[in-house]
């Protein structure tokens, strides 16, 4: 096995709608605009999970189970953790994203804000402690985390205003 293949096997880049679970030393990365990523980890930080939520709305009937939708993504995230013997309700949560990608057109009720409100309400309803968050604003976020003791890295990239 060459080095490039080895590195690729240890890093998972999540695209919109992806859900992933990793163990200590593995890396999860994603790029967010109005989408929201939820990062969950057990208190010892031996297992980490991330989902990339696109829509806070309910999926159409023919798309039930589509993890681009918030409810489906969180159900899958919880199920994947339970399969590893991790109680999701005991995990620490971190929330990222929910940016306003069109600040020249929307101020408060933009897609990112709706996604963020849904995620924070869901986590509150199940009693999860949100340990950190980087949400809102007119920016993209590059998110990466190597499962272990360090915090996820979140880099903000400003949205360039278009012509007015």
**Residue 76, CA atoms < 13 Å, CB-side half-sphere:** 20
Residues 97, 37: contact at Cβ < 8 Å? yes
Cα angle value 137/49/129 (rounded, 5°): 65
Segments of the chain scoring below 50 in pLDDT = 1-9, 162-164
Domain residue ranges in the chain? 12-158
Q: Tens of pLDDT along 134-164?
A: 999 999 999 999 999 999 999 999 876 533 3
At 160 the pLDDT is 64
Q: Where are the beta strands (DSSP E) in the chain?
A: 11-14, 19-23, 27-32, 36-41, 47-53, 92-97, 129-135, 139-146, 153-158
What distance in Å separates the CA atoms of residue 2 and residue 143, rounded to the nearest whole number?
Answer: 26
At 74 the pLDDT is 98
CATH architecture of 12-158: 2-Layer Sandwich (3.30)
At 163 the pLDDT is 35
């Amino acid at each position: 096995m060459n080095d490039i293949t080895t590195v690729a096997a240890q890093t998972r880049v999540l695209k919109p709608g992806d859900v992933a679970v990793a163990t200590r030393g593995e890396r999860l990365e994603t790029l967010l605009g109005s989408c929201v990523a939820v990062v969950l980890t057990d208190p010892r930080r031996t297992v980490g999970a991330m989902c990339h939520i696109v829509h806070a709305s309910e999926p159409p009937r023919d798309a039930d189970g589509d993890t681009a939708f918030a409810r489906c993504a969180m159900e899958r995230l919880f199920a994947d953790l339970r399969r590893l013997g991790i109680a999701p309700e005991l995990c620490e949560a971190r929330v990222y994203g929910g940016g306003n990608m069109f600040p020249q057109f929307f101020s408060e009720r933009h897609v990112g804000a709706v996604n963020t409100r849904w995620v924070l309400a869901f986590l509150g309803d199940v009693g999860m402690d949100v340990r950190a968050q980087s949400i809102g604003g007119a920016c993209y976020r590059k998110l990466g985390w190597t499962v272990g003791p360090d915090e996820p890295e979140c880099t903000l990239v400003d949205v360039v205003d278009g012509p007015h």
